[in-house]
Amino acid sequence: MGGNSGNSVYESAGAALAPVESSAGVVIRTSNLSRRFGRVEAVRNVSLEVPGGCVCGLLGLNGSGKTTLIRLLLGHLRPSAGQVRLLGRSYQQDEPGIRERVGYVADARYLYEWMTVSETLDFTRAFHRTWDDAKVRSLIDRLGLPLDRKVAELSRGHRARLCLTLALAYNPELIILDELTAGLDPVVRREVLKNVIEEIGREGRTVLFSSHSVEEVERLADQVAIMHCGEVVVHASIDDLKQSQPAPMTLEEIFFKLVGSADGGRERR
Amino acid sequence: MRIKIDASSGVPIYLQIVNQVRTQVALGQLKPEDPLPSVRQLAADLVVNPNTIARAYLDLEHQGIIYKRAGQGTYVSLRAVEMSKNERVRIFSELLEKALVEGLHLELDHSEMESVFRDLMTRVNGRDENGARGES
């Protein structure tokens, strides 16, 4: 094998391991981010950097601060201290610019219950210049969304699929998903994940998603960030994390080693 | 090509794919010039991040097991077969190692195990020859 190909081995393997596109740079950057609710510090001093093109899974027990961190990232909550920059901008500088380029699914996503699915799509479409009609049609087909049904009458599964369609419809560069598959049955879950995977396969997409499921993080993510008591206690590539253990360990074992048993951690609420 | 991912394993997923493709080539389940699914296709089938599949394919390519034909896809390479000789030895030695460890636990000494091994060889060889004669 020649020196040149040896070089390209290194470069391409590195790209697969920690895909950093030079042009994309760091897509999510928080510095010393904190948020308190009264006496409780739900997110504490989080400094996180997620490079462009990377899929980062956010793992943590209930009440570890995942959802608060995501709400801070989405600008749905103001930080008590520290900063958020998405795609190189802060909300103070350019909130509309961020909203155009970030798609999200979160529990708190506001839907008008009295609208039908197709009215919801038309309504949201009006806010996005980059809305992709062809993509929306194919998502509706594949996900089997009932266009004439009222949002109030949707099952949990259909609701999640509608939210995912809304999040992907305008081809955002950064996609943030909070517990996308929580409460979904295995068939719907698989279908939803397949669509997320297809999206990851597109050029230059960065994804941050939170999940209870270690398996889901393992399958989907390049990197994992583990939260415990409001802090990010580990942020690393999953393969590196596994291979850095003295003996072979599953991600689940590493997770439990870090956060302890459910009752071993400090009670947050 | 059938690949099974164990997401609750200490082995990185890309390595699971690499090992399974190598094993299938060694066992002749994948033959030279057989096409492999595209990165996107396999990612969707296995519900695994496409970056992970790409990394596994890259590894296999550098090992000479598969090659890319520009614009057409990925195929099992001719060299994979000669390489698979080593692979077959590796698989066999792994099996044998397990048996040897068990033997030590059963407190058999080297010569006892060797004689069992020779007896088995003779018996299996005999069976092979009979089988071959029966077929021809």
For residue range B2-53, what is the model confidence (pLDDT) as tens digits? 899 987 778 889 999 999 998 888 888 899 999 999 999 999 999 999 999 9
Q: Which CATH superfamily is domain A28-259 in?
A: P-loop containing nucleotide triphosphate hydrolases (3.40.50.300)
Is B47 close to A194, i.e. CB distance below 8 A?
Answer: yes
Give the nearest partner residue to B7 out of A12, A218, A222, using CB atoms: A218
Give the nearest partner residue to A194 out of B7, B39, B44, using CB atoms: B44
Q: What is the pLDDT of residue A54?
A: 92
Q: What is the DSSP string of A207-235?
A: EEEEES-HHHHHHH-SEEEEEETTEEEEE
**C-alpha torsion A171→A173→A176→A177, nearest 10:** 40
The interface predicted TM-score of the complex, written ipTM, equals 0.74
Residue ranges in chain A modelled with pLDDT below 70: 1-24, 108, 261-269
Contacts of A193 in chain B (CB under 8 A): 47
pLDDT digits (tens, 9 = 90+) for A171-192: 999 999 999 988 888 988 998 9
Is B51 close to A219, i.e. CB distance below 8 A?
Answer: no
Q: What is the pLDDT of residue B130?
A: 59
Is A250 close to B10, i.e. CB distance below 8 A?
Answer: yes
B14 and A CB contact within 8 Å: yes
List chain A domain ranges.
28-259
Q: What is the DSSP string of B50-106?
A: HHHHHHHHHHHHHTTSEEEETTTEEEE-THHHHHHHHHHHHHHHHHHHHHHHHHHHT
Q: What is the pLDDT of residue A24?
A: 56
B42 and A CB contact within 8 Å: no
Interface residues of A toward B, Cβ cutoff 8 Å, are 9, 12-13, 16-17, 19, 55, 190, 193-194, 197-198, 200-201, 214-215, 218-222, 238-239, 242-243, 245, 248-253
* Residue type (1 letter), B18: V
Give the nearest partner residue to A16 out of B5, B40, B58, using CB atoms: B58
Q: Which residue of A has its CA nearest to B59?
A: A13
How does residue B131 score in pLDDT terms, banded at 50, 70 and 90? low
